[in-house]
Amino acid sequence: MDDLVERFLAGDRRALARIISRVENDTPEGREYLRALFPRSGKTHILGVTGGAGSGKSTLTGTLAAEYRRRGKTVGIVAVDPSSPFTRGAILGDRIRMQDLALDPGVYVRSMAGRGAMGGLAPSIADVVAVMDAFGFDVVIIETIGAGQDEVEIAGTAMTTILVNNPGTGDDIQALKAGIIEIADILVVNKADHPGADVLVSQLQALLSLSPAGSRRPPILKTTAIKNEGLGPLADAVADHYTYLENSGLLAKHRAEDARHQVLSIARQIVLERIRETTSEDELAALVARVAGRELDPHTAAEELAASVLG
Amino acid sequence: MSSTTTAQIRVLIAKPGLDGHDRGAKVVARALRDGGCEVIYTGIRQTPEMIAEAALQEDVDVVGLSILSGAHLELFPRIVAELRKRGVDDVLLFCGGIIPEEDTEVLTKLGFSAVFRPGTNTQDIVKFVYEHVKK
């Protein structure tokens, strides 16, 4: 290996950026870097910011990071935007909302393309976050792709998930539905200067009052990120949640579950890669054609494929 | 190997200086996106320091600068200096906008591999990036 790890450990941000690229691209080199740095991770508070497209996630992430800077903390940000399913290209535009942090030496912002991953994240996000964690940021914020009702994967990687809502985007039945709202540790009503903010807060409150007795109720906070309003109380709520996780033993449980999930999903990926390596394109095409022709059902076909590598 | 994690060309499209017209920058960003690149767009009114810092943090392979104000001979050398100061010395540089023909030589010496002017076919820019990127 080259001197990148040495420079990384000395706090060189260019080395951090280069290592992230290799880890993101999952190159053999990237895996070496991760192997070297992973034992140093596990100290950072990892936050997730999720919510619909245009809900203000990037602006909120930027202003929350600025609040942490006022509190003397360093911040790493990973902002994910979608890739084209056709060309695999992407426009990564989250930095536009974070201009005030552009020259702050205590902040590092990295844009990532989703590259087809599920859940508003990117395939290598957990590895990239581990590298940023190992670099020594006090807080790492993951900003997801605009999420709909069912993108819950962020709660696996992030210890504290902030769900960004906006006034005027649906009645209380939306909030009653299962899915993304269940993973929120903190609910934010952003663009709180718009009409309907207080109505949304009381709808969310009413909904949370239906939670089983004794369960933790996520706090609901109003922010107007673009005017820098409400970020202090939000940073306080994040800190309270971390204390709660530590004291309840949930932090250790979260780490264990995340590790389990990562190991299993990488194992699944390895099996898939082996299948692709041992099956020729022609064999695959022939098998798939039988399924498309309704000769064979997809489960039987998949079992045949798997049997070729699993024995 | 899985197709989801292979390396893609990362391009920073930036607009230095004070003019606020970023239609051209957006058209180029969109063309590169459709060409399969991951394009980081930072918006208008970027200082040389902000552009260099974004290039460093995002570890881009390519930096494309758009300028219409006529301040390119003022701003571009400062951007190149800020990039070098940060050790970002191996990126492919190109620029576009309202840039007189006679300035091409100065810009080439500065390290710009291409200058694109109004009327350029966006496909030529995509082709240029793929042919010249140091991957």
For residue range B3-35, list pLDDT tens digits in order: 444 579 999 999 998 888 889 999 999 999 999
Contacts of A1 (CB under 8 A, 6+ apart): A29, A32, A33, A36
Q: What integer pLDDT is reported at residue B3 of this predicted model? A: 40
Residue B73: CB atoms within 10 A of its CB come to 13
The verdict on a CB contact (< 8 Å) between A14 and B4 is no
Q: What integer pLDDT is reported at residue A215 of this predicted model? A: 84
Map residue B128 onto helix, strand or coil. helix
Taking residues B29-42, report their average pLDDT.
Answer: 96
AA identity, residue B83:
L
Contact A149, A225 (CB under 8 A): no
For residue range B100-126, list pLDDT tens digits in order: 999 999 999 999 999 999 999 999 999
User: Nearest-CA distance from A120 to chain B in Å?
Assistant: 14
Contact residues, chain A, for B61 at CB < 8 Å:
none
Q: What integer pLDDT is reported at residue A138 of this predicted model? A: 98
User: Nearest-CA distance from B55 to chain A in Å?
Assistant: 10
Contacts of A11 (CB under 8 A, 6+ apart): A135, A136
Contact residues, chain B, for A123 at CB < 8 Å:
2, 4-5
Residue A214: CB atoms within 10 A of its CB come to 5
For residue range A96-116, list pLDDT tens digits in order: 999 889 899 999 999 999 998
User: Nearest-CA distance from B117 to chain A in Å?
Assistant: 23
The verdict on a CB contact (< 8 Å) between B57 and A17 is yes
Contact residues, chain B, for A119 at CB < 8 Å:
none
Map residue B124 onto helix, strand or coil. helix
Low-confidence ranges of chain A (pLDDT < 50): none
Contact B123, B31 (CB under 8 A): yes
Nearest to B40 among A20, A95, A123 (CB): A95
Q: What integer pLDDT is reported at residue B26 of this predicted model? A: 94
- CA A300 to chain centroid, in Å, comes to 34
User: Nearest-CA distance from B127 to chain A in Å?
Assistant: 15
The verdict on a CB contact (< 8 Å) between B56 and A14 is yes
Q: What integer pLDDT is reported at residue A209 of this predicted model? A: 85
The verdict on a CB contact (< 8 Å) between B29 and A17 is no
Nearest to B56 among A13, A83, A123 (CB): A13
B91 vs A172, which has greater pLDDT?
A: B91
Q: What integer pLDDT is reported at residue A245 of this predicted model? A: 96
Q: State ipTM.
A: 0.91
Contact residues, chain B, for A21 at CB < 8 Å:
7, 10, 59
Q: What integer pLDDT is reported at residue A122 of this predicted model? A: 86
Taking residues B50-69, report their average pLDDT.
Answer: 96
Nearest to B50 among A103, A272, A276 (CB): A103
